[in-house]
Structure 1
Amino acid sequence: MHPVKSPKKLIEVALPLDDINAAAAREKSIRHGHPSTLHLWWARRPLAAARAVLFAQLVNDPGYQRELGYGVNKQEAEIKREKLFQIIRDLVQWENTNNEEVLGRAREAIRESWRETCHLNRHHPQAAELFNPDQLPAFHDPFAGGGAIPLEAQRLGLESYASDLNPVAVMINKAMIEIPPRFAGQRPVGPEPEGEKQQSFEQDWPGATGLAEDVRRYGYWMREEAFKRIGHLYPKVKITPEMVAERPDLKAYLGEELTVIAWLWARTVKSPNPAFSHVDVPLVSSFVLSSKKGKEAYVQPVVDGDRYVFGIRVGTLPDDAKQGTKLGRGANFNCLFSNTPIQPKYIYEQAQAGNLGQRLMAIVAEGKSGRVYLSPDIRHEDTANQAQPEWKPTALMPENPRWFSPPMYGMKSYGDLFTPRQLVALTTFSDLVQEAREKAIADYRAANPNPSTRRGVGLDEGSLDPDDMPLAQGGSGATAYGDAVAVYLGLANDKLSDYNSTLVAWSPTRDQLKTTFGRQALPMVWDFSETNLFASAAGDIEVSVRGIIRALNNVPCGSFSKVIQFDAQTQEISQGKVVSTDPPYYDNIGYADLSDFFYVWMRRSLRRIYPDLFGTMAVPKEQELVATPYRHGSKEKAETFFMKGMTQAIHKLATQAHPAFPVTIYYAFKQSETKEGSTTSTGWVTFLEAVIQAGFSIDGTWPMRTEREVRTIGLGTNALASSIVLVCRKRLPNAGTISRRDFQRQLREEMPEALETMIGGETGQTPIAPVDLAQAAIGPGMAIYSRHEAVLNQDGSPMGVHDALILINRAITDYLSPDSGNFDADTQFCAGWFDQYGWNTGPFGEADTLARAKGTSVDGVREANVIESGGGKVSLLKWGEYAADWDPLTDKRTPIWEACHQMIRRLQQDGETAAGLLLARMPEKGEPIRQLAYHLYTLCERKKWAEEARSYNELIASWSAIVAASHDVGHVGTQAGLEF
């Protein structure tokens, strides 16, 4: 095979990781306009991370020119690299998501790199096929999931292909990347709601804004039509004199009819006490309705013999209100009448026998200045019981208590998760989706009366009229447009289901409903809230549509995109494409099982539009690459299935992906797999083995952190990334074997330069934060290990990934260690003493021995003003004890240890500019200072010295600003009048 000349990409060398992670963490708090508001998906990658990874995967690292002998020196490469870093810093900001100036710079950098690559491969036999300088390669994600990665590939100017086995994921991706470009610039055709200002026909509708406007208009029509049909099931509540007499705080509402926000229900079970076995006692986890200061409210059950009523009280919350009738964790409750404990086993038995009931506990209404909590009304309870659904989902939930608790309580099917009123509402809206579709088709035809003028090129005689071609077959006329509108309305109905199930709890801290999926599971909820779908609050179709519109207005529409349902193990879509993907990890999330909750409603709404996609009663599960023991019979069989299937799927990528680009694979970690800033899990090692066995070499391992604030560390908590991006290249077919000794030699030769690039060069490019370096530095080490067919131990056996990681981590430690030869003797002494005693005192004898071993003396180190020595004791000075008037130009003995801690003192006391001014007076010490800071951070983290580690981390995190400040002042610091 003719070799491809493939310059190293930026992601294989260096990244402004802290900037990416800070933007990804910030993005978690952004909702308005975020594509995630189209539809829920679990463990979706942040757009900032996906965009940065793709850009760095597509652009050449400037250092490649030096490797090819183009005369670019190391410093010039770092300057060029910093320009690419700045593009990434701008790209990852949420405000720049659709900033065409920023995106234009990124796209031009991608095109420039692509033209360079094409030029290098202009004589390749497949140059016409693989290296067309006028056409960027397309992109593919075979595990598309929530669609963040394909969406960002499209935003960066690539044709984007997405595939997934799960039809819910396929629909999400179609809604984000496939449908909007097809109707870009389309004017809305639906009638505007009555009373609204009429839009000008001449108004421009860029991107998908016209389609989004029609989703709004038909969504409004759906809501109004639904209210005509089922509005009687959602009555208002009138404030009567009797209510005011009991609750004087309601006086301001006397005679008014208030809109109900939610009805709060308590599940019930017969009391296990024989004296009260005929009574349905409530199972309530908390009686607190509102814990907001000044607006406290709670439920107070009033017992009268063998009867009870729920009353509402306002004011200070009693302690027992917070507990409800619950006793500890799980299904442990207390009988309201007899104080008899109600054991889980009893509740299981009663629930399985169909004896789990429910009783209205409180009504939440909309007041003049917030929520109004009211006692239950029998008329409201009767109204809810009048609902008679004509249909309910019959798909069964799995018997897997790890993710699904309801089946243990007799709720076997997804339909059992909804009240009759909720079923009536969701089926009504599902059916209205199709009615809205028919209206949209008719309105489109009326607005575009000459379909013949839009007939597609190349249609044979007798072929389907473009206006009749459905969306699923590639249409873009009337029928397809109606289909498209229906897709988004169907997604809105799915969002309704998330707010309308009996697994929705009430949040007393926020005075509003939660959602069904507060986490990646369906746990049992004992006291649940039933929302009013017509209250203009969470759970209202209008609110759901509004979120979809904001997201739709922000999606890119410039590039062709295609979404296909396909199994990653057998797909051929990746051929010749750039690949980045986020596969499921082991058994973290049961995507197929969980998404059945949405699938049953999506299928009812959209089956006529995508009959092939919704042909099954539930989401396909047999080939889903998740290690689920209940599905495969045992944990061992589940792991074998997962690793075999994942290796096969990754092998597809290794053989098909475009040879000029690395493949990036996200690996998601569980909390339990992180420990003291490093990853130490069998799953991690096994996954690396699978990637290598699939035919890849691993060139990078970048930790993507989405849980932390910028420039903070989480020592003692879970400070590691929530996912790691593996950067992979297809291993060369002629890759041979090497010995363990040769592997260690290559680590010593190649790791220092790779680490130096990662921690930042002399230009002051953003370094990798110390907390991330240990994981990121594994990348270049694994590149050495995995580019060979095997590394052989002395006995001839192949070295495993686990042993390779040990040697790689040792090489990283050796590079950062002051004993590496890059540091003066005084610094080596201080580092050794710090490792042993920290800031504490130690005996002079030991200090004298250590100093002689390092080639210095205790008196000499004391002369450098970094230790105290006397009375037979020695201790290091803390940075706060260093001289405030210190000047490196006049100091006769300046070890790197002293310079590093003086930099920390100046940064902490006077800020980055002052620290930069100090660095300008000793620029030759910049790199050793930073290297020492990395070493000391790593040492402190290992010893769990959180406070000590923080100062070193902050020095590294501020390094770019410090270097920039030092360049600004230049040699100004030597001028008279500046104080040090």
Structure 2
Amino acid sequence: MISFIEKQFPVSKISKESYKERKAGPNQTLTGLGKWWGRKPLVIVRTAILGCLMPASDNPKRDMDIFLKIMSMDQTGVELRKDKSFSAAEMYEIVEKNKKLRSRINEWFDITGDKIKLNSSVNKKEVELTVFNTLGYDEKLTKCILPEQLKNLDEQTWNEINHHLGTSANNLRELIKQLSIKRYGRRVVVGDCFCGGGSIPFEAARMGCDSYASDLNPVAGLLTWASINILGASAKELEEIKQFQQDVFHKVDHQITALGIEHNEQGDRALTYLYCVEADCPECKVRIPLLPSLVVGIRAGKVVAKLLRNGQTYDIAIKMNATATEVKEAGKAGTATSKGMICPHCGKTTPIAALRKDRKDENGNTIFGLRQWEKTDFDFREDDVYSERLYVIRYERPDGTRYYRAPNEHDLQNESKVKQMVAENIVSWQEQGLVPSMEIEVGLETERLFKERGWTHWNHLFSARQLYTLSRFTEQMLLISSQLIKVSGILGLNKLVNWNSQLCGWNPARDNATQTFYNQALNSLTNWVVRSQAMFNTSWLYNISEYPTSKSANIQLCDARDVSVNCHLWITDPPYAD
């Protein structure tokens, strides 16, 4: 039996649908579970599976019509997916440019006032649908939900589908089951031996197929398992997960609040802490904070930092409500550039490699100048080239107003308290698995961590404050026995470290932090941001929607060459580098 996909495939429409799905960004179905580079758009998976199961007839045109109907990519389906309205001005602009509709401008629109309006005598829905159907497919999609978001097709469409295919389905899952039985005598098994972020096995399970997934990467296995079992959880299970998230968040919040390490002397709660590294200028021996820019924030009010010489160091003053001129000057007054460290005292520029004291051996190999950290280190030592400096804290008052200020004695005491707690507990935390303890493996991306910071273990990517807070979440998570809830906790922890490591930069234009993996690199920074526990709500309390899936999924961690499972369909996308 020849499949539809062997004869034809609506490449153009699927490409446009895939682009729309990609542009949904963090609102994509699987993205909320955790970051994974290169996930396949779910619409591609759905069309591929359907195209393999749907038989080709001797009427190719009708086959294409039916395929598009099933995917809600025909005219009726796109109309059903339309969920955004046009303004009168938008419709007027479209009608004015359309030769066939231009004659109806006076009938439909009132343009006598300052604002274009529809005439009260016309049916807005009819006019809007007429205008909508004059648009090209790309333009229509801007007003539509994704195919996966459409709950179901209408009865008439299902009648046409069933008549052509000889089925009796009322929804996609029933159709897939019936097409599977026609072709294989049982429910189809879809396999992917490079499952990665889980797009193929998840969509197969959501369509009602049995699925097999494998990968060498344990994170891939975890994300794939979560996509099927967490997104596919029952309403009761989802409620239990959400309750777990809330309980853990509030327990950790209570611990930190009781210690007072995120509150100032006025009782205001810290939101973010901005740190930088400092180093001595080789020329004048003055201790310099390495800052790419002295602009602290713009979006929520112009805030700048000012370097004030104080002996052999610099004090950093923070000015709120800065003028546009001050912001412009602060943007140019950074001390860290691509050329190196610029000393504001003597004006000399020192290349960062020279600052680190990197050198070459007799064979031309680079010898790292920085001290290589030990397993339990979480801060620089006094005799290191670099030191860590907290230079700005963003606080929130009980009434919700926010402000920046330089740390005072009370803030620095809080810092010391956190570092003392970490110093006293890090060995036991590592033994319990509450914080990382593994060595960083040598590689193209990881080498820079040794060279640029002296970091040798994964815990070095986190400051004392980050280690303390993350250990509290991990401690609560390890108390859970339910696999489903524990995996949801692991995913939450994964999101926390993505948004709270020393690789998270600060974006002053938006007054917010970047992710650890904002690109596919491990970038050490001269200044970075640490989030307080109060800012973890959007990461730990991540949203989970309910997507019914077939739970008969087989997920394994193994080499693709060792797979011994038989599947009816293999749909996979091997790593490009292999």
Q: TM-score, normalised to structure 2's length? A: 0.72
Q: Distance in 1 between matches of 2:254 and 2:63?
A: 68
For 1:291, the equivalent position in structure 2 comes to 298
> In the superposition, relative to structure 1, how do residues 403 and 56 fare at CA in structure 2: closer, same or farther (>3 Å)?
farther
Structure 1 position 99, deviation (Å): 4.1
- After superposition, give the CA deviation of every residue in 1:852-874 in whole Å (9 maximum; x if it has no partner): xxxxxxxxxxxxxxxxxxxxxxx
Q: Distance in 2 between matches of 1:358 and 1:171?
A: 35
**Is 1:172 aligned to residue 199 of structure 2?**
no
Structure 1 position 483, deviation (Å): 2.5
For 1:218, the equivalent position in structure 2 comes to 244
Q: Distance in 1 between matches of 2:334 and 2:541?
A: 39
Q: Distance in 1 between matches of 2:188 and 2:315?
A: 68
Q: Is the 8 A contact 2:189 2:568 kept in 1?
A: yes
For 2:571, the equivalent position in structure 1 comes to 580
If you compute each CA radius of gyration, which structure gives the higher value, 1 or 2? 1
Q: Distance in 2 between matches of 1:522 and 1:503?
A: 7
Partner letter of residue 400 of structure 1? G
- Structure 2: runs of 5+ lacking an equivalent: 82-140, 154-168, 359-368, 372-383
Structure 1 position 105, deviation (Å): 4.1
Superposition pairs for residues 149-160 of structure 1, below 5 Å?
Answer: 149-160=200-211
For 1:505, the equivalent position in structure 2 comes to 505
> In the superposition, relative to structure 1, how do residues 519 and 302 fare at CA in structure 2: closer, same or farther (>3 Å)?
same
Q: Is the 8 A contact 1:20 1:52 kept in 2?
A: no
For 1:357, the equivalent position in structure 2 comes to 387
**Is 1:517 aligned to residue 524 of structure 2?**
no
> In the superposition, relative to structure 1, how do residues 372 and 29 fare at CA in structure 2: closer, same or farther (>3 Å)?
farther
Structure 1 position 370, deviation (Å): 5.7
Q: Distance in 1 between matches of 2:65 and 2:493?
A: 51
For 1:962, the equivalent position in structure 2 comes to none
- After superposition, give the CA deviation of every residue in 1:636-685 in whole Å (9 maximum; x if it has no partner): xxxxxx3xxxxxxxxxxxxxxxxxxxxxxxxxxxxxxxxxxxxxxxxxxx
For 2:489, the equivalent position in structure 1 comes to 489
Superposition pairs for residues 379-394 of structure 1, below 5 Å?
Answer: 379-387=410-418, 388-389=421-422, 390=426, 391=430, 392-394=435-437
Q: Is the 8 A contact 1:233 1:384 kept in 2?
A: no
> More relative contact order in 1 or in 2 (CA 8 Å, sep 6+)?
2
Superposition pairs for residues 205-604 of structure 1, below 5 Å?
Answer: 207=234, 209-231=235-257, 232=259, 234-238=261-265, 257-273=267-283, 275-276=284-285, 279-292=286-299, 295-313=301-319, 314-315=321-322, 316=324, 317-326=326-335, 328-329=337-338, 332-349=340-357, 352-353=370-371, 354-366=384-396, 371-387=402-418, 388-389=421-422, 390=426, 391=430, 392-402=435-445, 405-409=448-452, 410-435=454-479, 437=480, 482-533=482-533, 535=534, 537=535, 540=536, 542-547=537-542, 550-551=543-544, 553-573=545-565, 575-586=566-577
> In the superposition, relative to structure 1, how do residues 502 and 10 fare at CA in structure 2: closer, same or farther (>3 Å)?
same
- After superposition, give the CA deviation of every residue in 1:169-223 in whole Å (9 maximum; x if it has no partner): 1111111214665xx5xxxxxxxxxxxxxxxxxxxxxx2x322222222222222
> In the superposition, relative to structure 1, how do residues 21 and 104 fare at CA in structure 2: closer, same or farther (>3 Å)?
farther
Structure 1 position 263, deviation (Å): 0.7
Structure 1 position 402, deviation (Å): 4.3
**Is 1:36 aligned to residue 8 of structure 2?**
no
Q: Distance in 2 between matches of 1:85 and 1:486?
A: 36
Q: Distance in 1 between matches of 2:474 and 2:347?
A: 45
> In the superposition, relative to structure 1, how do residues 352 and 137 fare at CA in structure 2: closer, same or farther (>3 Å)?
same
> In the superposition, relative to structure 1, how do residues 518 and 371 fare at CA in structure 2: closer, same or farther (>3 Å)?
farther
How many percent identity over aligned positions? 21
For 2:96, the equivalent position in structure 1 comes to none
For 2:127, the equivalent position in structure 1 comes to none
Q: Is the 8 A contact 1:216 1:545 kept in 2?
A: no
> In the superposition, relative to structure 1, how do residues 546 and 503 fare at CA in structure 2: closer, same or farther (>3 Å)?
same
Q: Distance in 2 between matches of 1:141 and 1:562?
A: 10
- After superposition, give the CA deviation of every residue in 1:115-171 in whole Å (9 maximum; x if it has no partner): 55x3xxxxxxxxxxxx21xx2211111111111111111111101221111111111
Q: Distance in 2 between matches of 1:54 and 1:378?
A: 63
Q: Distance in 2 between matches of 1:521 and 1:108?
A: 44
Identify which of 175, 191, 197 aligns with 1:146. Answer: 197
- After superposition, give the CA deviation of every residue in 1:426-459 in whole Å (9 maximum; x if it has no partner): 1221121122x15xxxxxxxxxxxxxxxxxxxxx
Q: Distance in 1 between matches of 2:245 and 2:447?
A: 32
Q: Is the 8 A contact 2:181 2:187 kept in 1?
A: no
Partner letter of residue 264 of structure 2? V
Q: Distance in 1 between matches of 2:311 and 2:538?
A: 45
Q: Distance in 2 between matches of 1:433 and 1:16?
A: 45
Superposition pairs for residues 599-614 of structure 1, below 5 Å?
Answer: none
- After superposition, give the CA deviation of every residue in 1:817-853 in whole Å (9 maximum; x if it has no partner): xxxxxxxxxxxxxxxxxxxxxxxxxxxxxxxxxxxxx
Q: Distance in 2 between matches of 1:78 and 1:148?
A: 25
Q: Is the 8 A contact 1:404 1:522 kept in 2?
A: no
Structure 1 position 581, deviation (Å): 1.6
> In the superposition, relative to structure 1, how do residues 568 and 554 fare at CA in structure 2: closer, same or farther (>3 Å)?
same
**Is 1:15 aligned to residue 46 of structure 2?**
no
> In the superposition, relative to structure 1, how do residues 356 and 52 fare at CA in structure 2: closer, same or farther (>3 Å)?
farther
> In the superposition, relative to structure 1, how do residues 76 and 486 fare at CA in structure 2: closer, same or farther (>3 Å)?
closer
Q: Secondary structure at the match of 1:554?
A: coil
> In the superposition, relative to structure 1, how do residues 401 and 326 fare at CA in structure 2: closer, same or farther (>3 Å)?
farther
Q: Is the 8 A contact 2:261 2:417 kept in 1?
A: no
Q: Distance in 2 between matches of 1:12 and 1:386?
A: 69
- Structure 1: runs of 5+ lacking an equivalent: 1-5, 67-71, 119-130, 185-206, 239-255, 439-481, 587-641, 643-980
For 1:950, the equivalent position in structure 2 comes to none
> In the superposition, relative to structure 1, how do residues 140 and 233 fare at CA in structure 2: closer, same or farther (>3 Å)?
farther
Structure 1 position 80, deviation (Å): 4.2
Structure 1 position 517, deviation (Å): 0.9
